[in-house]
Amino acid sequence: MTIPSDPMTRALELARQAAEAGEVPVGAVVVDPETGAIVGEGANCPIAGHDPTAHAEIIALRAAAAARGNYRLTGLHLYVTLEPCAMCAGAISFARIGKLVFAACDPKGGAVIHGARFFEQPTCHWRPDVEQDEATGELASALLKDFFRARRG
């Protein structure tokens, strides 16, 4: 795949595409930190896909696993525009992602630094390094707020 100048910029592009399709604007990109190459990417699509698990992170992890020919994505980095939910945090752990970088916090549905704090649970067997990209957090948050404001009329 391509090498982006900034993986979070690509994730934001994917989030905008999701919004244009009527989906909650979340985008995710899996990157090989050694090469900088995108290994998998995804945008939210549960409505179009009739699939409640079709979150951006899940789509990106599936694409990366297919590209690598392995469900273990040890050492790869995941960039996502919104703090992952519990389902996505579980998938990130099972995939053995080395580092998670997210932009906007999700106090209601997030499960990394909010809610369940999935990676802090004793039953979590793999914990990625976690970083919040505050520089793009406001952009991602504004994208989500604008999306929901427009839907509410």
* β-sheet bridge partners, residue 98: none
Active-site choice (57, 83, 120, 138): 57
**Residue ranges of the binding site for Zn(2+):** 55, 85, 88
Model pLDDT, residue 152: 85
Print burial letters for 32-51: b (CB count within 10 Å at least 16), e (below 16): beeeeebbbbbbbbbeeeee
Active site residue 57: yes
Domain 7-147 in CATH 3.40.140.10? The answer is yes
Q: Is 10 exposed, middle or buried (0-12, 13-18, 19+ CB in 10 A)?
A: buried
- Report pTM: 0.94
Q: What is the mean pLDDT of the chain?
A: 95
* β-sheet bridge partners, residue 38: 31
* β-sheet bridge partners, residue 131: 101
Which two tokens mark 114? 């909010």
Q: Is 130 exposed, middle or buried (0-12, 13-18, 19+ CB in 10 A)?
A: middle
Which stretches of the chain score pLDDT less than 50?
A: 1-4
15-51 pLDDT, tens digit per residue, is: 999 999 999 999 999 999 999 999 999 999 999 999 9
**Residue ranges of the binding site:** 55, 85, 88
Q: Using an 8 Å Cβ cutoff, are 76 and 67 in contact?
A: no
- How many percent of the chain have pLDDT more than 70? 96
- Within 10 angstroms of residue 62's Cβ, the number of other Cβ atoms is 18
Model pLDDT, residue 34: 95
What is the spatial distance between Cα 82 and Cα 103, in angstroms, rounded to a whole number? 6
